Structure 1
Amino acid sequence: MKTNNIYLALGIAISGLFAFTACDKNDGAGGGTTKVEVRMTDAPGNFDEINLHVKEIMLKSGEQSYTFAAEANWFNILDYRIGTNNPDILVASGEMPSGDITEIRLVLDDGNTIVVNGVEHALTTPSGQSSGWKVKLTENPVLVPGVTYTLLLDFDAAKSIVQTGNGKYMLKPVVRGVTAATSGLISGSVLPLESYPEILAIRGVDTIGTVADPLTGTFTIGGLEEGTYSLKIIPVDTLNVSDSTITNVSVSLGQNTNVGVIDLGN
């Protein structure tokens, strides 16, 4: 069985960036977990290099904070610009409880540098920044259970670098956060419970599957690209019931398409 490798290339123009609030067709956010990928891109500045040493990304939901350790912790942010072959870089990823993201912070380690006219300089940071820099959000994103999101941090190079009077450079990151859902999901339930069915979401040559909960018959298939699917239900114990297929199941990014109760006995 082949599974999708979900990846959304973010080729959005900077001027068109927006904060995404996910809406669920049937169920509100809350309960369950959501996968979040944190990427960074650059709004250009007049420098040769800006080498950042990222320690971690902190996400806050309500009063609880969640920390994602950096996966790419040392890179030249000027190498990653929307509209180029390298539009962004994956900095961190992880799962957190679904719900509102109320705050995002970028936490940097020491050792950041800048190259100007071929000369490398240390990038110092103001003291007391162990908690990181707050990322500006125009709207708090709402994370739906089972949906994957990309959080794009737009680093404004021109506004983030300050040259002091003695020729040194100081880093005061100005970062804007944009959240976009990169997958959707299909949910429902299957009867009779004793059929222990497998449920397959099929789109072209790609198939993603799950099994129904044996106690409730409910199922959820997440990580689905936007598009139209066929949903095939295959009972393990036939109990005189047959396979069933539902066609034209529409999936939208950030939304849950609930197909309701599927009764294999009818």
Structure 2
Amino acid sequence: MKKKIMYSGLALFFAGMAILSGCTKDNNSTASGTTKVEIRMTDAPGDFDEINLNVKEIILFSEGKPYTFAAKTDIFNILDFRIGTNNPDILVASGEMPSGEITEIRLVLNDSGNTIVVGGVSQELKTPSAQSSGWKVKLKANPSLLPGVTYSLLLDFDAAKSIVSTGNGKYLLKPVVRGLTAATSGLISGTVLPLLSHPEVLVISGTDTVGTIADPLNGNFTVGGLAAGNYSVKFAPVVGYRDSTITNVNVALGQNTSLGIITLKQ
């Protein structure tokens, strides 16, 4: 891993769209006051060739009760799906549950089938035994599911913080996620040149920092899941180029704030 990059973590987006069935039996409530839910995953580019995930299930908690959604996917490379591309996300699970406030979300992976490819070499990603109960998602706000409305929950995988090097050429998988609601979601995008600068792009608000790296093929970047407000955007390139920061970047709800082309100096 060449750089330690903080990505925009788990984001929760509202979407009025049709949804597939497929929740586990306990979730198939026939009572009134139910909500359809889609659970999708996305990521930002990182300095790995592949991160292949084998998701077992997603667990949503409401009023202290767990509702388990079995995964609909085979093993997939999470780096193939990122905001701002033609493949922004992948549907992982879907189903129906009683309406109400979601107080906790857990991502559960299968014990095997999770792999990483670095430098063309593939190896298994081990997960600590404690992961059997799932990885808890940190939510800034608990989304409320309304009856008769379809919600899409987008899990933005934090690759750099989720992949832990053991120091002997091996890696552990400890998924790290965070949450924002769709009502407080905006984007910042742009293009950084020259391509050789290969910068981290860090979006900063107070002590909260999220980000990505510029695409090495075209310099494009997109950071999503941002609350409305003013941000500083820092570009931290490799050695040979100067850091650069753009201040007072305004993000509005549901809008993409484009910074255009940013050219870094040597």
> Normalized against structure 1, the TM-score is what?
0.56
Q: Distance in 2 between matches of 1:18 and 1:129?
A: 21
Displacement of 1:135: 1.3
Q: Which residue of 1 aligns with 2:139?
A: 137
Displacement of 1:128: 2.0
- Percent of residue pairs bearing the same amino acid type: 77
Are 1:87 and 2:78 an aligned pair?
A: no
Deviations 1:91-130 (A, max 9, x none): 0000000000000000000220000010001100111211
- Report if the CA contact (8 A) 1:40-1:90 is conserved: yes
Q: Distance in 2 between matches of 1:50 and 1:17?
A: 17
Letter of the aligned partner of 1:135 in structure 2?
V
Q: Which residue of 2 aligns with 1:59?
A: 60
Closer, same or farther in 2 for the Cα pair 1:64/1:17, shift >3 Å? closer
Q: Which residue of 1 aligns with 2:120?
A: 118
Q: Distance in 2 between matches of 1:35 and 1:21?
A: 11
- Report if the CA contact (8 A) 1:151-1:178 is conserved: no
Pairwise CA RMSD: 2.5
- Report if the CA contact (8 A) 1:34-1:144 is conserved: yes
Are 1:148 and 2:144 an aligned pair?
A: no
> Normalized against structure 2, the TM-score is what?
0.56
- Report if the CA contact (8 A) 2:13-2:154 is conserved: no
Structure 2 counterpart SS, 1:158: helix
Q: Which residue of 2 aligns with 1:41?
A: 42
Closer, same or farther in 2 for the Cα pair 1:53/1:16, shift >3 Å? closer
Displacement of 1:62: 1.3
- Report if the CA contact (8 A) 2:70-2:93 is conserved: yes
Q: Which residue of 1 aligns with 2:109?
A: 108
Displacement of 1:164: 0.5
Kindly tell me the number of residue pairs found equivalent between the two proteins: 161
Closer, same or farther in 2 for the Cα pair 1:20/1:79, shift >3 Å? closer
Q: Distance in 1 between matches of 2:165 and 2:83?
A: 26
- Report if the CA contact (8 A) 2:59-2:67 is conserved: yes
Q: Which residue of 2 aligns with 1:98?
A: 99
Displacement of 1:137: 1.1
Q: Distance in 2 between matches of 1:19 and 1:70?
A: 18
Displacement of 1:152: 0.5
Letter of the aligned partner of 2:117 in structure 1?
V
Structure 1 counterpart SS, 2:117: strand
Q: Which runs of 4+ in 1 moved over 3 A?
A: 14-22, 177-181
- Report if the CA contact (8 A) 1:43-1:158 is conserved: no
Displacement of 1:176: 2.5
Q: Distance in 1 between matches of 2:61 and 2:36?
A: 14
- Report if the CA contact (8 A) 1:153-1:178 is conserved: no
Q: Distance in 2 between matches of 1:20 and 1:123?
A: 29
